[in-house]
């Protein structure tokens, strides 16, 4: 036995004496070097380009730009509020056993997801060509052109378009909740709406919040499309200024800077909001993990 064990011990000793050489990732180094070269080239191009950086600093806090920023934030909040309300309503209608409600919801989602957002904005902005007046005939009527201006057309276009996408998000969140909880709520006498409000939606929020948060961030940028119907948001006001002073790239950099700043703040808020709604889920998992251990 000792004669057989001696070679094995020598082999182990030789293995133990080997030096561990880390694997070389040459592809990563080459890719990182190329990326750094591209970034350096971009920085050099902006530094040496014909960009008047003092003009950028001057107009970054210009009253017209700040007014456009306020309009952008207000429109984002209003359009997302309208979109979330419509999304919840049409998601419930989509899942309703009533064929009429389900058909209306299907048509709404099909139409607003199937047509471009720019087309919808133009349709709302030119609605007066189809309906010269709106209201109750014989009682109260207003001229459509006075009611649906750039702000209202933008709100309706962005909000109703967002509602179609939010409806699918809410529906997926509702479907993620276990059916047994709905059946248990019915067993104790809860109505369908009470079950949805007190049992299903609070649990579905952890699935709904991430995509809706992403849509909220996207809405900030989508407001720039409303510049075609003369809504005074950041990009529209920046265009108005550079039409006058011919500082195109400088004003575009100003607009980009404000969009990046607002989106960054919203991303931070979304991160903490997701942590709040996922906290209970982690607490429910912990006892099970301890029991398994």
Q: Where are the domains of the chain?
A: 72-231
All residue ranges of the chain with pLDDT < 70 are: 1-17, 278-293
> CA separation (Å) from 145 to 135, 182, 228?
13, 47, 17
Contacts of 262 (CB under 8 A, 6+ apart): 69, 72, 73, 220
Per the rule left: phi > 0, alpha: psi between -120 and 50, beta: everything else, 143 is beta
**How far is 121 from 227, CA to CA, in rounded Å?**
10
> CA separation (Å) from 45 to 31, 41, 251?
21, 6, 18
pLDDT in tens, 141-185: 788 888 888 999 999 999 999 999 999 998 888 888 877 777 787
The pLDDT score that the predictor gives to residue 288 is 43
**How far is 102 from 163, CA to CA, in rounded Å?**
15
The pLDDT score that the predictor gives to residue 290 is 45
The pLDDT score that the predictor gives to residue 286 is 46
The pLDDT score that the predictor gives to residue 285 is 45
Fold of 72-231: MetI-like fold (1.10.3720)
Whether 126 contacts 206, CB under 8 Å: no
The pLDDT score that the predictor gives to residue 11 is 64
The pLDDT score that the predictor gives to residue 275 is 80
The pLDDT score that the predictor gives to residue 175 is 83
The pLDDT score that the predictor gives to residue 182 is 75
Which of 118, 146, 84 has its CA nearest to residue 92?
84
> CA separation (Å) from 113 to 106, 167, 195, 241?
11, 11, 29, 34
Start-end of H helices in 140-200: 144-147, 150-175, 179-187, 192-195
Which of 86, 118, 82 has its CA nearest to residue 104?
86
Whether 76 contacts 220, CB under 8 Å: yes
């Amino acid at each position: 036995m000792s004669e057989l064990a001696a070679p094995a011990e020598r082999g182990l000793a030789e293995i133990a004496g080997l030096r561990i050489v880390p694997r070389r990732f040459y592809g990563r180094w080459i890719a990182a070097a190329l990326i750094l070269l591209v970034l350096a080239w971009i920085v050099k191009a902006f530094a040496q380009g014909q960009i008047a950086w003092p003009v950028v600093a001057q107009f970054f806090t210009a009253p017209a730009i700040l007014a456009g920023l306020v309009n952008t934030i207000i429109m984002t909040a209003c359009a997302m509020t309208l979109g979330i309300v419509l999304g919840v309503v049409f998601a419930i209608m989509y899942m309703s056993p009533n064929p009429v409600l389900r058909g209306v919801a299907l048509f709404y989602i099909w139409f607003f997801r199937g047509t471009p957002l720019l087309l919808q904005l133009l349709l709302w902005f030119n609605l007066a060509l189809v309906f010269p007046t709106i209201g109750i005939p014989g009682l109260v009527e207003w001229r459509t052109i006075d009611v649906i201006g750039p702000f209202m057309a933008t709100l309706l276009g962005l909000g109703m378009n967002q509602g179609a996408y939010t409806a699918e998000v809410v529906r997926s969140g509702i479907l993620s909740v276990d059916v047994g909880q709905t059946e248990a709520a019915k067993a104790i006498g809860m109505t369908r709406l009470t079950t949805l409000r007190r049992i299903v939606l609070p649990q579905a929020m952890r699935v709904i919040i991430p995509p809706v948060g992403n849509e909220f961030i996207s809405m900030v940028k989508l407001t720039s499309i409303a510049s075609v119907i003369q809504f005074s948001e950041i990009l529209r006001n920046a265009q108005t200024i550079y039409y006058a002073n011919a500082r195109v790239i400088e004003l575009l950099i100003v607009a980009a800077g404000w969009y990046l700043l607002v989106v960054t703040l919203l991303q931070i808020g979304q991160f903490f909001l997701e942590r709040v709604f996922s906290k209970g889920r982690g607490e429910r998992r912990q006892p099970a993990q301890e029991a398994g251990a």
